[in-house]
């Protein structure tokens, strides 16, 4: 049986990185941990994801099917990115990751 301490041993920076993919909670690591390069990368990607979520919600007001599909896709991608952040990995989201590389905080 695995040691439960080891099973749930997640570094603090990974938790801050995961918060970047929980909507407006991206501002918590932005305020508290933006100097950590690992967390900073996730902050930038989380901000872009938040922007895409907002755009998809706006799009669903005009084109309901397109907006809803875009929202569903970005939420699935968001969950994958959150899990990768908890595992201590950087997963560059297709298309969004390219935008992230172009700006700094």
* pLDDT at residue number 18: 93
pLDDT (mean) for 58-71: 83
* pLDDT at residue number 8: 56
Give this prediction's pTM: 0.82
Burial track 16-54 (b if 16+ CB lie within 10 A, e otherwise): bbbbbbeeeebeebbeebeebebbbbbbbbbbbbbebbe
* pLDDT at residue number 6: 53
* pLDDT at residue number 46: 93
pLDDT band at residue 2 under the 50/70/90 scheme: low
């Amino acid at each position: 049986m695995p040691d439960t301490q080891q099973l749930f041993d997640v570094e603090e920076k990974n938790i801050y990185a995961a918060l970047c993919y929980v909507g407006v909670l991206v501002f918590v690591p932005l305020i508290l941990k933006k100097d950590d390069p690992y967390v900073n990368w996730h902050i930038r990607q989380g901000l872009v994801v938040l922007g895409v979520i907002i755009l998809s919600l706006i799009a669903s007001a005009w084109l309901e099917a397109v907006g809803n599909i875009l929202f569903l896709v970005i939420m699935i991608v968001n969950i994958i990115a959150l899990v990768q952040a908890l595992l201590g990995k950087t997963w560059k989201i297709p298309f969004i990751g390219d935008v992230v590389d172009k700006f700094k905080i």
